[in-house]
Amino acid sequence: MRIHNLYTDAQGESHFRDIDVEWVETRNASKLSARLPANGIIFRETGGDYDLSWHPAPRRQYIINLDGGVRLTASDGESRVIGAGEVVLVEDTSGKGHLSQSVGGQMRRSIFVPVE
């Protein structure tokens, strides 16, 4: 399983990288990761006209798209569409931040899982 990761370097530029989930247990035909820390859960619904200018993430958090997608653009210029069922760990809480834009005019439902 791959997780998108948006992070900030020492110069304040945001970049993407991929994180592979490490499996630590196999049980009942399932693979499980280690338990990760989290501080609650936030449900979000975003309209299809969503187009947010440059901003840092408000906190370090996982974003899990339930439906719809979002186009995130890092300050280094790389853009990724995070689709339904995909996960991104946003860690660019300082620096230039990123752009966020709806995809195809579709409403999106997502879950935020703060990790700090």
- For residue 116, name the pLDDT band (cuts at 50, 70, 90): confident
pLDDT at 29: 93
Mean pLDDT of the chain: 96
Reported in sequence order, the residue ranges of 28-115 that DSSP labels E, i.e. its strands, are 30-33, 42-46, 51-55, 61-67, 70-74, 79-82, 87-90, 98-102, 108-114
pLDDT at 108: 96
Cα separation, 34 vs 16, in Å, equals 23
2-114 carries CATH number 2.60.120.10: yes
Domain definitions of the chain by residue range: 2-114
| Burial classification of residue 71, based on how many CB atoms lie within 10 Å of its CB (0-12 exposed, 13-18 middle, 19 or more buried) | middle
Whether this prediction's pTM lies above 0.95 is answered by no
On whether the CB atoms of residues 36 and 24 are closer than 8 A, the answer is no
pLDDT at 99: 98
